[in-house]
Structure 1
Amino acid sequence: MIWSVIAVLALGSMGILALSLRAKTELNNQADSSPAIFADQLAELDRDVARGVVSATDADAARIEIKKNILRQAQKDQSGPLVSTRGSRIALWIAITFVPVAAVGYYSQFGNPALSRVAVAEQRQAREENARIVALTEQLKTRLETDAEGGPSDGWMLLGQTYMRLGRFGDAAAAFQIVSKREEATSAVFSMLTEALVAQENGIMTSAAEAAINEAAARDPSNPAVTYYRALALQQAGRSAAAHDLVMARLDAADGYYPWMDTLVAQANRIGDGIGRDPISLARFAPMLAGRGPSAEDVTAAQEMSQEDRAAFIQSMVQGLADRLKDEPDDLDGWLQLGRAYSVLGNAEGAKDAYKNAAALSADLPQTDPRKAIAAQALESLSQ
């Protein structure tokens, strides 16, 4: 279908240009005729314009030429009419022939109408989904703002989290700020406010962000976000060694494995890399994961690899873990680690399957076991 349309448009454009060229050439070649012929030419030109054969712009130019020829004839100027050179006519014929052919050739080589339709459809679907989320978000904001009691805190927190996902960090901070002023504000409220304030400033710990994280610490000193953002502030203040010590102390104080430890281990390695300290692995702080992930030596080796080699190395480590779990399907901690690895790699289906296995294994565990909540929360997050 697309090729039929291209062919029709190409032939149509060539025909119109050819008629225009032919009409103007004939007018010029008759420049030495009598005034009566010139009058006929003007009349014929008007009819061509009415039929749409010649554009108004071309017609105006042709009328000027005809009138010039009438004046020359009246003055018996035998020098001949002003006409297009043969070379110009040849060049124009080449252009009107070559351009459509070249365009068709280029499209046949590089074009893909089917792919274009798919891309357009996906873009349209993404825009529609984004517009729907934005509309629902604004509806939620309106309900909260018009609530006689100021709107429930859970609603404002949901609004702030939605704004964070939309990249509207200033609006997210404003939503969290409303809850932070209430008596029931928890440490988590202030750490989320800190996150929004830092994101709003492109990763910079401002005085407002430091004040928010201090409030979080006052309510719960063990909140891992307090360690993360205070270490970030120290690092940005040029105190990287102190920042690294702070993170390491928080990891050493952990009494088991928790999801936030992955983030702090990564932060410690980023800071330590800049000050010449040895890399660390999660297994150092969570013994139940020993032997199930990359060692400190593996981390060091990965840092020295190229981007492609590092990606291949990580994939091999994850695949090795997945293969081992086929032989040891009752390893709860292993399934949790595989789920985290797949999440980092963007393999949502793989992560979901891993966390489903972890959830099944943790079903009979007491509610106080953090691994039970980790699996449940991860599955809930992946299902959104």
Structure 2
Amino acid sequence: MFWIICAALVLVVATAILSPIRRARSETRAEPAAAYDLQVYRDQLREVDRDLQRGVIGAGDAARLKTEIGRKILEADRRLSESQPQSGGGASVLPVAALALILVAAGGLYWRQGAPGAADMPMAERLRTAQLSYDNRPSQAQAEAAAPKAAPVEMSEEDQRLIQQLRETVAARPDDAQGLTFLVTYETRSGNIAAAREAQQRLIDLRGSKATADDYMRLGALMAEAAGGIITPEAERAIGQALQIDPGQSQARYLIGLMYLQNGRPDRTFVIWRQLLEEGPETAPWIPLIRASIPDLAWLAGEPDYTAPAPTGPSAADMAAAQDMTPQERQEFIRGMVAQLEDRLATDGGSPEEWGRLISSLVVVGEEERAQNIWAEAQSTFAASPEALAMLRAVAENAGLGE
């Protein structure tokens, strides 16, 4: 069936390419006007001979007419020769040869790089391959060594001095949990993820049995980031510890789903990510990533009819009400929406985009000081996510806020 489909596609493409060439050749073969004129002049010569035999014209007139018609015949013959193509079939042979060469090259490339005749991989074999991929993951040290080096984060001399002071303070007081917490945040902000991961591990070791699910989740996330996005066995153990303490820890569940996806088990990823998407909240930073990939995951998991829940947003009544407001009322309405967003982010957290929206909205309504405080809080909240920090920093700079 595969080869029949391929042959049909080749035939359709070849026909589409060669049809214009064939039409052009047909138009070229149409008899030009010079050939018609040449036939007329030859008929005129025969007519002159008949008139001469019947005595209609004299020999002198016949000779003059034949000379005149002969000149016309020579001119028509010249025009006929110029109208003919110089190379009869070369113009059409070249496209056909090029098409044949392309088809042969494509077939050869598929035969070399493809897998003609290969049978579909049975499910048992796919599961075995996935298990091998899972078992042969690189260690944390190997993954960090192979990970591409991140671009250095530009920092002012003052920031560099403060981070160095913090490092020295933590080195002098290794049992200072608060100092280690700050060190994790600022090492992450400076782009030194490996140092942040090491500081987070020291913080967990210091807290011992009092370490929280968030502590282990953050360690796993930092390990994955330092390893170039790979969930290594060490990162999996940290994430698993977070889930053992709190089975509902959403970011840890997201990372476990990512680990399954990296190792050929999108069916397991779908189950986990589907639950996260349906639980929400829509403001969680992993929801946009899940929403973008869930259709493909559903298909790979054998549930092509799955429909993701629609994202939540402002109601139609709110939008209609805003249209009918006076400028003063609309300003108060915006202030109320900003206050609601701020309360929700303070209580439930939210995505980087929502934090950025809050920062810019506060500046719009004239609350620059509150916007600056929210920007400072956002830097701490998303310290483990350089991408989120970069986006938020761009929002703060556009709003005219400093560090």
Is the shorter-chain TM-score for this pair beyond 0.5, marking a shared fold? Answer: no
TM-score (norm 1): 0.44
**Higher CA-based Rg:** 2
